[in-house]
Chains A and B, each alone.
Chain A
C-alpha cells in the first residue's frame, strides 16, 4: 500500500530526535507538572546555536559559536505561575523540574491527570529561510565583513575606525501543553551591526547602524553591505556641526522609521496586558475608549515576513498574528499571553514571549508600528513654526504606572518657519504616553519599519522592531541647554 508523505510528522520527528524525547514522554511530563493540582502546564524545549564574527582594525580576528539547550516547564494555577527548567532532557532531570514547577498549585497530594489528545496546529512560515546558517561555514562570511569595511572607508575619508559584527542564530523550539497541542518552530536570526568612528579637525564622532532579520544566510549580500555602508557615513557632516537646542516644551516632528520607538515606549508597554491585569498601566480600564486622533491606528504584528519581531508561534504555541492595539483612535486590544487572555476573557494575541527556556513567557511586543495617515511629510514639517525634527534614536524607557517615557535622540534638526534648520544631537525627549498619543496631530503617508537590532528589556530580552510614518506631536519636553 502506498503511503502519503507526511511533512508534519517528519518535522515532529526531527524535533523529538533533537531533544531525545517521545510524545508519551511529553504527556508524562505534563502529568507530573499537574500532579499537585495545576490548571495548565506547558513544556518549552529549546536548542539554540549562535555564531558571531567581529571585524576590528581591518581583520576578522575574533569569532566563535555558542550552544544553549534545555527545557522550561511551567505550571499555572489561576494566574499563579510555577516555573523551573532543566539543561538536561534526561527524563529524571525533566521530572525533577516538573515537580518543582508543580509546587505553585499547592496541593500536597498527588493527583491523577487524565491523558490528553495530542493535536498538531499547522505552522505558518513568516521567515522563509532559504539557507540555514548552520550549513554555511563561517569562512564564507569573512569577505562580507571586509567588503563592508572597505565600502565605508571608500565613502568617507574621515573614517578612522570601523567595528563590524555579524551574529546569527538558529533556535529549534518544540512546545507541548496540557491541552495536547504540540508545536514546533525553527527560528533563524541574522544581525549585522557596524560602528564607525570619524575624525574631523580633531573632533571625534561615532555612528552605529544595524540590520536584523529572521532570515537565513541568504541575507548576507553586497547590497546589504552597501546599504549599511551608505547609512553609516550619511549625515556625518551635520553631526560634526550639530549642537544642542535650547531645551523646553515644543512641537516635535518624528521622522518615519526609527521614531517608532515612541510607540514602543510611550504606548506599547502600557498596552501589555500583564500591566493592565495588575491595574498598573496608565491604560488600565480604558478599553474601547477613544484615546487619540481617529486617523491613528497602532499595530503589533508578528506576521511581517522576515521581520526580527515575527514568530510563526509565540512561546506559548499561539500562532503569530497581527493585533490592532488602537484602531481609528479607539483602544482596541491589549497584548495578551495565555494568563492575561484568560483573565480578561479574551483570546491570546500571540504575544506570550520569552528570552529562552530559562524564562517564563510574558506579554511582549513584536513589530510595533503606526499605519499610514493622510499627510505628506513635507507638509507636516512645513506646518511647524518653531520646533525640532528627530530621526535617530536609542535608549528608550517608560514608567508604566505614570506613563512617563523618555528616549535619546542621536540626530535631528531644528525647524524654523516650516523648514529644517541647524542640526542637533545628543538630547533626550521626555513625555507622557497617553498625552503624547493624544497630542499627535498629523500622521504622514510614509510608514517605514526600522529593521535595526532593537531589543526590548522587561526583565528578559526580546527581539522587536518598530516603525512609524512621519508624525507631528504637538508638544514634548526636549532636553538641551538651559539658555540664558
Chain B
C-alpha cells in the first residue's frame, strides 16, 4: 500500500538540512519538505487541447540564529549543495535585527498523531494506479461539448473542459523534536462554456467539482452545468440602485466570510490593521452567525492535524452566535503580544446552518432562503472588489438574478454591493445547510437584509 510520495530518502534529506543548520550555528530550525505531482488533460471544443504533467519537490527552511529569524527555500536538493546553501542562509540570518519573540512552537502544543500523513484519510489509494490512459478517459467522459446543442435563444461558442488530479505530500520537522506529515490527493473537473445570443452578445458560465476521492468526483454534470449557467445569464437587465435583500449562492459565499477570518489573524491585529481588534469575547455579529473550525473531520477537504508550525489543530468555535471566540495567534504573535497562542490560521471553517428556517429536519436550501426573503437579488458570482482591512468597508461587483416571491425573475447586470462587514454580518437573516462538500471552506448559501446595491 502506498502512503504518499515522500520516501525515506527524502526524509533523510530533510534531516540533512536540519543537521547542517544546527551544525553551522542555528539555535533552532524548522524544515518542511514538500512533494507534489499534478496531471491535467484539457479539452477545447471537444478536442484534446493540452496535456500537462508537473512534479515538484522543494524544501522550506526556517532558521533561528542568535535571536534572529530567516526563511529560505530551494528545489536544488543535491546533497553536495546543502551545506553551502545553509551556510549562506545562516550568514544572511545573522545580518537581520534581533527579535527574541521568534521561536519554535512549544513541543507540548504540537501534533503527535500525524506520523504517516494518512491519519485523516485524505489520500485515495486509487490515485497510484492511474495512468495517462485512465486520465484521458476520465477527461473525455466529462467533456460535454459534443452533446451541447444550439437552441433558438443561444449558440454555443466554446467549451473549455479540464480534468486534473494531484497528490501533495508534506513532511515537517523541527529541532524541538516535532515530526509530522500530511498527504492529500485531489481530483477535479472544471468547465467554462461561452454562448452567444441572437445579437452576438456573449455570456460565459463556469462550474467545477473536486474531491480527495476519485469515486466521489462528479464528472458527468460539469459541462452541462456550465452551459446552463452561461445560458441563464442571457438578457440581463439593469436594476435601480437601492437596498435589497441579498441571497448569496453557496458556490461563492466564502468571499464574504474571508475578510472576517483575515481580520481575526493576530498579525493584522498587532499591526492595527483589523476591524475586529477589540472583538474577542464580544458579540459583534448577528447571533445567527456561528463559525466552527472543523480542522480534524475525517476525509474532508481542508482537514489537517497540524498547522504550518506543527501546532496541533482541533475543532473549535471561532464565532459563536455572533460572539468572537478566538483569534488566530501563532507562536510569534503570542510572544509579541502576550495573547495566548492558538493556531496560525483557520483550516476548515464551517458556517453553521441557521435553525430558524429548519423544518422537518431538512437542510435549509437556497430556495428556502429566497422564499424567506421573498424579494431581492440572488448573487451567484463576484466580479472584483475589495474589503478595507482596517475599517471593514467593502465594495464588490456582483453577478446574479433578481427574485420575486422567492422565484428568479431575470439576470441582473453591472451591479455593485457596498457596505461594512460588521453591518453586513449583523444583517444576516439565515445561513443555509447546503455548503458544497467539495470545498475546504464549508460556507452555505446566505441571506442578508437590506444591502446597498448600486447599478
A residues in contact (CB < 8 Å) with B: 53, 56, 59-70, 79-87, 97, 100-101, 103-104, 137-139, 142, 160-161, 163, 195, 197, 199, 204-206, 244, 246-249, 265, 278-280, 282, 358, 360, 394-397, 399-408, 425-432, 477-483
Contacts and interface: CB of A to CB of B under 8 A. Distances in A.
Contacts of A205: 390-391
Interface residues of B, number: 74
B395 A482 contact: no
Contact of A482 (B203, B242, B393): B242
Given A87-B56, A247-B452, A406-B397, A396 B158 contact: no
Contacts of B76: 67, 69
B89 interface: yes
Secondary structure type dominating chain A contacts: strand
Max chain A Cβ within 10 angstroms of own Cβ: one of B71, B241, B418, B454: B454
**What 6 pairs across the A-B complex have the smallest Cβ distances?**
A247-B454, A479-B416, A406-B397, A406-B384, A397-B384, A59-B97
A146 to B, nearest CB: 9
A482 B160 CA distance: 38
A81 B51 CA distance: 6
Nearest to B136: A103
Interface in B300-338: none
29 contacts: A60-B97, A64-B71, A64-B73, A64-B93, A69-B76, A70-B75, A87-B58, A87-B75, A101-B51, A160-B272, A197-B273, A197-B390, A204-B390, A206-B388, A249-B455, A278-B45, A358-B54, A360-B50, A395-B384, A399-B383, A403-B202, A404-B383, A404-B399, A405-B384, A408-B385, A408-B386, A427-B418, A430-B383, A430-B415
Given A197-B390, A279-B157, A62 B454 contact: no
Nearest to B73: A66
Interface string B216-256: 00000000000000000100000001110000000000000
Decide if the interface of chain B is mainly helix, strand, loop or mixed. Answer: strand
Contacts of B418: 244, 247, 426-428, 479-481
Nearest to A97: B53
Nearest to A477: B414
Contacts of B54: 84-85, 358
Contacts of B92: 63-65, 138
B454 A478 contact: yes
Contacts of B399: 399, 404
Interface in B316-369: none
B441 interface: no
B52 interface: yes
A203 to B, nearest CB: 8
Nearest to B88: A65
B271 interface: yes
B14 interface: no
A276 B256 CA distance: 33
Contacts of B99: 59, 61-62
Interface in B59-90: 68-76, 85, 88-89
A436 to B, nearest CB: 11
A60 B70 CA distance: 11
A280 B452 contact: no
A61 B69 contact: yes
Contact of A479 (B93, B102, B157, B417): B417
Interface in B386-411: 386, 388-391, 393-397, 399
Given A206-B390, A395-B385, A63 B70 contact: yes
A302 B203 CA distance: 32
Interface string B17-45: 00000000000000000000000000011
Contacts of B241: 246-248, 482-483
Contacts of A432: 414
B212 to A, nearest CB: 23
B309 to A, nearest CB: 15
Contacts of A481: 418, 452
Contacts of B157: 278-280, 401
Given A80-B50, A206-B390, A278-B160, A163 B271 contact: yes
Contacts of A402: 201-204, 233
A406 B416 contact: yes
Contact of B50 (A60, A82, A482): A82
Contacts of A85: 54-55
Contacts of A101: 51, 53
Nearest to A285: B200
A65 B391 contact: no
Interface centre among A62, A68, A161, A478 (most CB of B within 10 A): A62
Given A82-B50, A278-B44, A397-B383, A428 B202 contact: no
Contacts of B210: none
A137 B96 CA distance: 11
A406 B394 CA distance: 14
B49 interface: yes
A142 B418 CA distance: 41
A106 to B, nearest CB: 8
Interface string B143-164: 0000000000000011010000
B393 A426 contact: yes
Contacts of A62: 69-71, 96, 99, 102
A293 B234 CA distance: 29
Contact of B383 (A69, A406, A482): A406
Contacts of A405: 383-384
B213 interface: no
Contacts of B72: 64-66
Given A402-B203, A482-B454, A61 B384 contact: no
A399 B271 contact: no
B453 interface: yes
Nearest to B59: A67
B384 A408 contact: yes
B130 interface: no
A67 B50 contact: no
A65 B89 CA distance: 8
Given A278-B160, A360-B52, A426 B415 contact: no
A399 B380 CA distance: 14
A249 B95 CA distance: 54
A479 B394 CA distance: 10
B395 A63 contact: no
A279 to B, nearest CB: 5
Contacts of A399: 204, 383, 399
A59 B241 CA distance: 48
B230 to A, nearest CB: 8
Nearest to A106: B48
B397 A280 contact: no
Nearest to A75: B51
A137 B454 CA distance: 52
Contacts of B47: 80
Interface in B83-128: 85, 88-89, 92-93, 95-99, 102
Given A59-B98, A160-B272, A204-B272, 16 more contacts: A62-B70, A63-B71, A63-B92, A65-B92, A83-B53, A84-B52, A161-B271, A247-B416, A404-B383, A404-B414, A406-B383, A408-B386, A426-B391, A426-B395, A427-B416, A479-B418
Among B70, B88, B98, find the residue whose CB has the most chain A CB atoms closer than 10 A: B70
Nearest to B70: A64
B51 A82 contact: yes
A397 B399 CA distance: 13
Contact of B73 (A67, A204, A395): A67
Contacts of A427: 395, 416, 418
A67 B74 contact: yes
B273 A66 contact: no
